[in-house]
Structure 1
Amino acid sequence: MSKVYVIHENSVWVEPLRSAFGELGTPFEEWFLDQGVLDLRSPPPQGVFYNRMSASSHTRDHRYAAEYTGAVLAWLERHGRMIVNDSRALRLEISKVAQYEALGSFGIPTPETLAVVGRENILPAAQTLGYPLILKHNRGGKGLGVRLFLSRVALEEHLASPEFEDPVDGITLVQRYIQAPEPYITRLEFVGGRFLYAVRVDTSQGFELCPADACQVDASAIGSVACPAVAPSEKFQVIGEYQNQLIPTYEQFLAANGIGIAGIEVIVDGNGRTFTYDVNTNTNYNPEAEAHAGLFGMRSIARYLDRLLRQGQAVRAA
């Protein structure tokens, strides 16, 4: 019997999906891709493969989980298996440069950004861009390396200190700081390539915006709690009647990049301009905010994957 196969490296994040599959009676299996052996001589099983590998997997001592997932996805694609968030999606998950270039090809505005390799090149790049600016890791997640700098002196001090974090892929992004009138961003959730809902996220305590309860606290970002997901859930508020003229374009962008499930984060500046700065293909949801709104991301994902599985079974039986 075919199944839904969930590719991941963080068991806690998958718990809500397990519960949703249980409610539907969906057969599924988890592939925890930290390490292992991939036999390229054999075909993969039949089923639907949902990739939710995380850009931050290396911070959980799963250094090569993303690379291993890339190999598995290549194997699945060669054999024509149905994949939700395929190798194109993984490429964007682990590289913000790839994200911004892909978004730009659809005319979606992103913050001005310079990609820098070599710590000694960060100051010249910052001088070119101007202040205020943000440093962040190209392969991010968990707010890795995200810090705000208002001046050259502050940046010089940081670069000379042990607090500077070397990115796992060697690429540091020097990015224009987008000043929002109020301390919040908006995260748009998509399931099945279609807009599901938007959530307003309070950023007053830092830049880490993961909405999952299980996120770990990392106090390195801006000297504050780096993951407000573990703070009171009023930091996350599902927005009713949300409108954004870019939603159809986002849906086209997702389809073109093999992404069926994602969270897209945007910020609006004081002039009302919207900038898209992150695409998360292993999106998580805040349960209390969802319960208050009566909308449930993981249940929607489970229903979507269950439907794909049954459609595939029907085609093979015909």
Structure 2
Amino acid sequence: MPELAILFEHPAWFEPLFAAVDRGGIDYAAIKVGDHSFDPASSPPPAPVIFNRVAMSSFLREPEHPLFYTMALLDHWRGRGVTVLNGPEVMAIDSSKARQLSLLHRLDLHAPRTRVVHRAADLATAAEAIGFPLLVKANIGGSGAGIMRFDSAAELAAVVAAGDHPRSVDQVLLVQEAVPARDGMIWRLETLGGRFLYALEIAGAGQFDLCPADACGDERGPIAMRAFDPPAAIAAAAERVAQAMEMDVGGIEVMIDDRDGSAKFYDINALSNFVARPVEVLGYDPHDRLVDWLKQRIVEARA
């Protein structure tokens, strides 16, 4: 049996991770969840430590997506006594922007004003409570998918009447104030083992279908980003979020509200595949630190 199993979905995102694990000399199995099935009466875990790397955006690539399947699979394996990193409870929060916002508020962190609904007919009433401009978001998005901005009630009504409003695979929608981000910047703080690892400042506010950790570009061109040292209170808040949801690896996103200078936390992403061109951006490769941490978890699992 290998020491580690990495459960993944995206065909290319984790090549840097696999390369780092190879360099680290870990005996591992890469398991593609799309090809997987299990028997609840048996199906033993594939390794003593299982690292979940299934993306929330997988529903964009596969109509028969593995999101809810993965939660059941991880719960099955963990119930058989192995260590599961970014397990089913983490994935349940990662897959729900509504639950993320509730967690942020429980931690006394500021977040955009939001109403949560499950029927398109209720979007107009929720919008009245929030005011325009606003965003309508799919509860399960991934890379910013399923977000639309509306500047008036008439614009929202026309889109809803045409049936062109955002949709979520779990039928939950969010109506959220459009926060004006200072200097058009968002901050992404990466955590590892519940501790702050690094931060990126990204020129991505107001852009949707955006994957800031990966710096993916399209017809809009490359995304400008830089590593920076966030205020200590922001880094500490990111750690509190990761620890509260027991997220082993992941990013927390925040922007500075240009109206009052407050930090608005708005997204948690447990699928952290780290920044592209890490040595150029950060001066080191965080995958190496991730591998060192994985080795520690393997040792702990053996004890």
Fold-level similarity (TM above 0.5):
yes
Pairwise mapping of residues 66-145 of structure 1 onto structure 2 (< 5 A)? 66-145=67-146
Do structure 1's residue 250 and structure 2's residue 251 form an aligned pair? no
Query: In structure 1, what is the equivalent of residue 56 of structure 2?
Result: 55
* C-alpha contact (below 8 Å) 1:4/1:306 kept by paired residues: no
Deviations along 1:181-204, one digit per CA (max 9) or x if unpaired, are 311100000112110111011126
Aligned AA for 2:9? E
Query: In structure 2, what is the equivalent of residue 286 of structure 1?
Result: 275
Superposed displacement of residue 290, structure 1: 4.4
- Looking at structure 1, the residues matched to 209 and 118 of structure 2 have their Cα atoms a distance apart, in angstroms, of 23
- Looking at structure 1, the residues matched to 41 and 125 of structure 2 have their Cα atoms a distance apart, in angstroms, of 49
Deviations along 1:39-74, one digit per CA (max 9) or x if unpaired, are 223332442111122211111115340111111111
Q: 1:214 to 1:41 in 2, by over 3 A?
A: farther
- The aligned length equals 301
Q: 1:184 to 1:216 in 2, by over 3 A?
A: closer
Deviations along 1:221-260, one digit per CA (max 9) or x if unpaired, are xxxx5xx6xx335x12111x32230433432332232211
Do structure 1's residue 4 and structure 2's residue 23 form an aligned pair? no
- CA root-mean-square deviation: 2.2
Do structure 1's residue 232 and structure 2's residue 233 form an aligned pair? no
- Looking at structure 1, the residues matched to 61 and 271 of structure 2 have their Cα atoms a distance apart, in angstroms, of 15
Aligned AA for 1:65? P
Secondary structure in 2 aligned to 1:13?
coil
Runs of 4 or more above 6 Å deviation = none
| Structure-1-length-normalised TM-score | 0.87
- Looking at structure 1, the residues matched to 99 and 5 of structure 2 have their Cα atoms a distance apart, in angstroms, of 26
Superposed displacement of residue 163, structure 1: 4.0
Aligned AA for 1:253? V
Query: In structure 2, what is the equivalent of residue 23 of structure 1?
Result: 23
- Looking at structure 2, the residues matched to 202 and 208 of structure 1 have their Cα atoms a distance apart, in angstroms, of 14
Query: In structure 2, what is the equivalent of residue 220 of structure 1?
Result: none
Aligned AA for 1:78? G
Pairwise mapping of residues 262-273 of structure 1 onto structure 2 (< 5 A)? 262-270=250-258, 271-273=260-262
Structure 1, 293-302 or 24-33: larger mean CA deviation: 293-302
Q: 1:28 to 1:277 in 2, by over 3 A?
A: same
> Which segments of 5 or more consecutive residues in structure 2 lack a partner in the other structure?
none
Secondary structure in 2 aligned to 1:262?
strand
Pairwise mapping of residues 131-280 of structure 1 onto structure 2 (< 5 A)? 131-161=132-162, 163-203=164-204, 206-211=207-212, 213=214, 217=218, 231-233=221-223, 235-239=224-228, 241-270=229-258, 271-280=260-269
Structure 1, 252-261 or 193-202: larger mean CA deviation: 252-261
- Looking at structure 2, the residues matched to 215 and 203 of structure 1 have their Cα atoms a distance apart, in angstroms, of 11
* C-alpha contact (below 8 Å) 2:215/2:275 kept by paired residues: no
Deviations along 1:63-104, one digit per CA (max 9) or x if unpaired, are 340111111111122122111111111001110111111222
Query: In structure 2, what is the equivalent of residue 14 of structure 1?
Result: 14
Secondary structure in 1 aligned to 2:12?
helix
* C-alpha contact (below 8 Å) 1:211/1:285 kept by paired residues: no
Aligned-pair identity in percent equals: 29
Do structure 1's residue 296 and structure 2's residue 285 form an aligned pair? yes
